[in-house]
Amino acid sequence: MPNNEPDGAFVFASLFSVIVGSIGIWLHSLNFKSIRKIDTMVIHGSFVLHYHLTLANLGVVVAFPFRSIYTLFNRFCLGTYGCQLYAVEGMTCGMTAILLACTICIVHRFEVTKGWKLTRTSCHSLAMGTWVVGFIWAVLPLFGIGSYSIGPHQTACTLDISRSDRKSLVFLLALTIFGYLIPVGSALLSLRVAWSNVVSSSDREKCTAGNLHVTVMEFLFQLVKPLWKEETGNPKNKLTERNRLAGHILVFTCFTWLPMGVLATCVMIFQNSNWSRWVYYMPQLLAKVGSAFAPLAYSSTLRGYV
């Protein structure tokens, strides 16, 4: 890391991470209490997956203030080893959060269409499996498949997406396809299948399991509407609210990590390392904001439910 005084952008990125990280830690702490409310909404032990998801998001957020505080003093805690440690922790929690959000949607689909009733032990096993997969993705760069480095804003040690060697490009491609596109695509399909069964009582009369009678636009509109408009009137239907909860979680997860995926894809395609540092700043700052405010996915669904 350079020894000169940090410029304005450097200070902004660092302070931004401190503030957002502190807010995120507070929100996630509150969210652990909020998750208790969904115990009456979800089926059997499925709420366990939500605890693991909150823990994964908290793992991403909790390091923000510490990373920035250390880099503001022009050094990284524990030097190179600290950089690698922070990167592995962030990558593990980030990938696990994506996989858990998708797992919640897929499990919900089979709960609705196939009558699955997973026990708490089964859900813990599913969650631990996603943690293992996330950890495997995270440690591969330590073995030369990809690499970690201090990011361009000097506030985080993260996956180096600027390298153009074959192993790094293959790793980025595999990560994009198998770590994001396939899980998110499967989750979206699962949500649409579930939504076609339980959007509302009137829709339920028209839909049967496995038939997709809900249009894509109707699905998306019904999914995001409660984010800005709270419904009143009849008591909320549990199945409909489970759909929305899973959908809101997936929406927040997608928009949290999508900018990073787009940036990595552009780097792979154009292989241009001379872009403005703000091209690298913004996706990572958006990822910080998305991870910190992920609990809003729960509050937007739970308000007025209990």
- Map out the domains of the chain with their CATH numbers: 8-302 (1.20.1070.10)
Question: Cα angle vertex 172, ends 68, 145, to 5°?
Answer: 85
Task: State the average pLDDT over residues 155-159.
Answer: 70
Structure tokens at 209: 């399991």
pLDDT of residue 1: 43
Long-range contacts of 136-145 (CB under 8 A, 24+ apart): 137/91, 137/92, 137/95, 137/175, 137/179, 138/87, 138/88, 138/89, 138/91, 138/92, 138/95, 139/88, 140/171, 141/87, 141/91, 141/171, 142/84, 142/88, 145/170, 145/171
Q: What is the pLDDT of residues 187-236, one digit of tens each?
A: 999 888 887 776 544 444 444 333 434 444 444 454 445 444 444 434 34
pLDDT of residue 107: 87
The pLDDT-based confidence of 178 (bands split at 50, 70, 90) is: very high
Q: What is the pLDDT of residues 19-55, one digit of tens each?
A: 888 888 888 888 887 777 666 566 567 778 888 998 9
**Residue 149 bridge partners (DSSP):** 158
CB 80 within 8 A of CB 87: no
Flag the least confident range among 156-165, 233-242, 281-290: 233-242
Q: What does the alpha-carbon distance between residue 296 and residue 290 come to, in Å, rounded to a whole number?
A: 10
pLDDT of residue 207: 40
Q: What does the alpha-carbon distance between residue 199 and residue 36 come to, in Å, rounded to a whole number?
A: 24
Q: What does the alpha-carbon distance between residue 63 and residue 108 come to, in Å, rounded to a whole number?
A: 31
120 pLDDT exceeds 90?
Answer: no
Structure tokens at 298: 């729960």
pLDDT of residue 198: 62
pLDDT of residue 8: 63
The pLDDT-based confidence of 183 (bands split at 50, 70, 90) is: very high
Tallying the residues shown for the chain, one arrives at: 306
Q: What is the pLDDT of residues 56-109, one digit of tens each?
A: 988 888 877 766 666 666 566 666 777 788 888 888 999 999 999 999 889 888
Crossing angle of helices 47-72 and 120-139, in 10° steps, is 30
pLDDT of residue 7: 58
Q: What is the pLDDT of residues 258-305, one digit of tens each?
A: 888 888 778 777 766 667 777 777 887 788 888 888 888 887 666 544
Q: What does the alpha-carbon distance between residue 30 and residue 236 come to, in Å, rounded to a whole number?
A: 23
Work out the burial of residue 260: count CB atoms within 10 Å of its CB; fewer than 13 is exposed, 13-18 middle, 19 or more buried: buried
136 pLDDT exceeds 90?
Answer: yes
Q: What does the alpha-carbon distance between residue 184 and residue 114 come to, in Å, rounded to a whole number?
A: 21
**Who wins on pLDDT, 5 or 91?**
91
